[in-house]
Amino acid sequence: MADEEVILLDFWGSMFGMRVRIALAEKGIKYEYKEEDLWNKSTLLVEMNPIHKRIPVLIHNGKSICESLIIVQYVDEVWHGKAPLLPSDPYQRAHARFWADVVDDKMYDAGKNVWATKGEDQEAANKVFFDTLKLLEAELGDKPYFGGDSFGFVDVALIPYYSWFHAYETFGNFSIEAECPKLIAWAKRCTEKESVSKSLADENKICEFVSQLRNKFGIE
């Protein structure tokens, strides 16, 4: 559709922004990417997301859609002809929404607490982190993707965190592959898709970014 105007307000390292990038890439949608400085938010961002003032925000023909999983569902519904992300069966859809919610509920804090803490607090954080990954790995089971045979909604929700794994491993001092080999195999399978590999941030840049955050918050 040549007359569609699609703009994404995003931050290069955001796993939430990456979800939207992947969805747009899966659907082959051309869009304008606008990088936000999270410490100096643009007037456009504040105007388009006045409630939360956070990225990602999708602006489609002048209307803003906020919250990453809501945006992904919106993209899936508007551009429904190609690469469906949610299944068509209502129970499978409910199941996918449930597990995407589990990712939202648990992953961000679990990961953050790994790099944002030290000593005993970090030991506790590491345990919660692996409990979360193992819960997700059990749900994946022997399927190639969380969506079954094809890449879907839950895969989109979780795969951006893979770009942060190197940072979690570095600062948490552990190996994710050693504990959750199936999950790593799944992640590598996902990154073979161009929509994913082009959307994920570079893991070394993320690691450097986290190091800066740790300095900023006095964690080192």
Q: Which pair of tokens denotes residue 22?
A: 């992947």
Please give the residues from 12 up to 51 whose contact with other proteins meets the rule CB under 8 A. Answer: 51
Residue from 57, 59, 73, 206 in contact with other proteins (CB under 8 A): 73
- By beta-carbon proximity to other proteins, the closer residue of 101 and 123 is 101
Distance, CA of 14 to chain centre: 7
CA-to-CA distance for 198 and 191, rounded, in angstroms? 9
# of chain residues touching other proteins (CB under 8 A): 21
DSSP string for 59-94: EETTEEEESHHHHHHHHHHHTTTSS-SS-SSHHHHH
Tell whether residue 97 is a contact of other proteins (CB under 8 A).
Answer: yes
CA-to-CA distance for 201 and 164, rounded, in angstroms? 8
Amino acid at 120: E
Residue from 93, 112, 182, 205 in contact with other proteins (CB under 8 A): 93
Tell whether residue 9 is a contact of other proteins (CB under 8 A).
Answer: no
Tell whether residue 135 is a contact of other proteins (CB under 8 A).
Answer: yes
Q: Which residues bind other proteins (CB under 8 A)?
A: 51, 60, 63, 65-67, 70-71, 73-74, 77-78, 90-91, 93-94, 97-98, 101-102, 135
